[in-house]
Amino acid sequence: MAEYEVLTHLLAIPHYEVVGVTFSKESLTLDLQATGEGGICPRCGQFCTTLHENHARLVRDLPLSGKACYLRFVRRRFFCSHCARPFSEPLDFVEDHRDYTRRYQAWIFQQVKENNIASVKRLEGLTFDQIESIFVAEAQARIPSNPFANLKRLGIDEISMRKGKRNFVLILTNLDTGQVADVLEKRTKEKLRSRLAQLPKEARAQIEEVAIDMGEPYSEVCEELLPNATITVDRFHVMQAINKEGKVLKNQEKKQHPEALKGAHYALLKNQEDLTETQQETLHRVYEASPTLKMAHRLKESLRHIFECFSTKEKAMQRLKKWTAIAHQEHLFPKFRKTLAHWLEKITNYFHRRTTSGMVEGVNNKIKLIKRRAFGFRNFEHFRLRVIAAFL
Ligand SMILES: [Zn+2]
């Protein structure tokens, strides 16, 4: 149909042409017609033109000129004389039992990834359930069937699903690609063990390094199931541990110096070289008011310095022991010192390959964003797909 040639071109669905258009205020419907006379029988490969029956279809497609766009066509069933059975003609642009095209599915997937579900819902006029099912279908098609196939460095991290609630999940990250290999529903030793045990022996054997947090039972499971992996405690978690104890100390000191320590949290927490001028002034005020906090802050910074400036495990180990001796003398960070002594071997494994959790940290931030955007997941499986898909 020459009058719809431009539309056919624009639509770009092979072997179909536009033969009619219906407009309404919000949408337009394009009538399509197959250009071929028959189809190839999927059983025997014979080309058949005997029409058996027609199925009317209406599917949603990408918007056109800002309007929702629907495609109306018939799906033909041909009769194969060779097999003496009918078959449906293959459709490349829409999957069976779906009322939207493949490219619409991909487009919604991308939009959900980049925006929040509420805005996609509003823009597309779809229901939450529709969006969710489209997203899930596309995610399942895109997620690699074996994300552990080439995984050599694994990050294991926990993240809370809902703020303030003790509802944690375990994120398994490929530290080389930054992709999430899996999300486990509970952060238990057993969950991790059963997931790793599912992997084929070769997949487990090829994992060279695992980055974990301290104080968790994960190291035990990894030692048990990943025979060739060096276990490294993330330096990020080491700093997190000392900062936690530093915060308690600051709060104690604050009772005696409420004025000087007002708003000192970030000044103490941030890397010293990144402080703004105001924060530097705050730090100076803290130093003057509390010699204890001054010492604690210097110890925290020197600990960070060790991670940044040493290149061998041996040297770093020496320095960490020296650091511990000073902290001991000053009666500071008793809890952290204990932790450090206990995990020293694994903490200093960091210096072999400098495996940082920078990746894991990035993953955490992205997941926080997902949690904010996707108000309430219907179930854990959807949350899992959402997280994995975010890193594809
Ligand atoms: Zn046949």
35 alpha carbon – ligand 1 mean position (Å): 21
240 and 216 in a common domain = no
Q: CA-based diameter of the chain, in Å?
A: 95
46 alpha carbon – ligand 1 mean position (Å): 6
116 and 44 in a common domain = no
225 part of a folded domain: yes
239 and 213 in a common domain = no
Which two structure tokens, joined as six digits, stand for 327?
Answer: 């902290």
50 alpha carbon – ligand 1 mean position (Å): 12
254 and 204 in a common domain = no
51 alpha carbon – ligand 1 mean position (Å): 14
136 and 54 in a common domain = no
74 alpha carbon – ligand 1 mean position (Å): 21
43 alpha carbon – ligand 1 mean position (Å): 5
86 alpha carbon – ligand 1 mean position (Å): 8
CA proximity to 321, closest of 356, 347, 357, 355: 347
* Beta partners for residue 211, in sequence order: 155, 232
Q: How many domains does the chain have?
A: 4
207 part of a folded domain: yes
Q: Is it the case that residue 376 has pLDDT exceeding 60?
A: no
CATH code at 381?
3.30.420.10
224 and 239 in a common domain = no
176 and 137 in a common domain = no
Q: pLDDT tens across 71-101, in order? A: 999 999 999 999 999 999 989 999 988 999 9
88 alpha carbon – ligand 1 mean position (Å): 11
25 alpha carbon – ligand 1 mean position (Å): 45
173 part of a folded domain: yes
Q: What's the mean pLDDT when you consider all of the chain?
A: 90
345 and 252 in a common domain = yes
Helices (H), 60-217: 102-114, 117-124, 128-142, 189-198, 201-205
Q: pLDDT tens across 179-205, in order? A: 899 999 877 889 999 999 999 999 999
Q: Domain span at residue 285? A: 235-353
DSSP tag of 24: -
172 and 205 in a common domain = yes
226 part of a folded domain: yes
* Beta partners for residue 233, in sequence order: 212
Whole-model pTM over 0.85 = no
82 Cβ neighbours under 8 A, 6+ residues apart: 41, 44, 46
Helix 313-329 with 291-309: angle, nearest 10 deg: 170
136 alpha carbon – ligand 1 mean position (Å): 34
Q: What is the mean pLDDT of residues 329-358?
A: 90
293 and 379 in a common domain = no
Q: pLDDT tens across 96-152, in order? A: 889 999 999 999 999 988 887 888 888 899 998 899 889 999 999 999 888 999 999
42 alpha carbon – ligand 1 mean position (Å): 7
304 alpha carbon – ligand 1 mean position (Å): 71
181-185, 287-291, 363-367: which has the minimum mean pLDDT?
Answer: 363-367
Q: Which residue has the higher pLDDT, 377 or 208?
A: 208
335 part of a folded domain: yes
HSE toward the beta carbon, residue 63, CA cutoff 13 A: 12
Residue matched to tokens 């927490």: 269
148 part of a folded domain: no
Q: pLDDT tens across 15-70, in order? A: 999 999 999 998 999 999 999 999 999 999 999 999 999 999 999 999 998 899 99
CA proximity to 100, closest of 76, 129, 69: 69
45 alpha carbon – ligand 1 mean position (Å): 6
363 and 215 in a common domain = yes
Measured between alpha carbons, how far is 184 from 363 in angstroms, rounded to an integer? 15
241 and 227 in a common domain = no
Q: What is the pLDDT of residue 118?
A: 82
374 part of a folded domain: yes
Measured between alpha carbons, how far is 176 from 183 in angstroms, rounded to an integer? 17
**277 in Cβ contact with 309 (< 8 Å):** no
Residue type for 363, please? V
147 part of a folded domain: no
Helices (H), the chain: 5-11, 102-114, 117-124, 128-142, 189-198, 201-205, 218-225, 235-256, 265-269, 277-289, 291-309, 313-329, 334-348, 350-353, 358-373, 380-390
5 alpha carbon – ligand 1 mean position (Å): 34
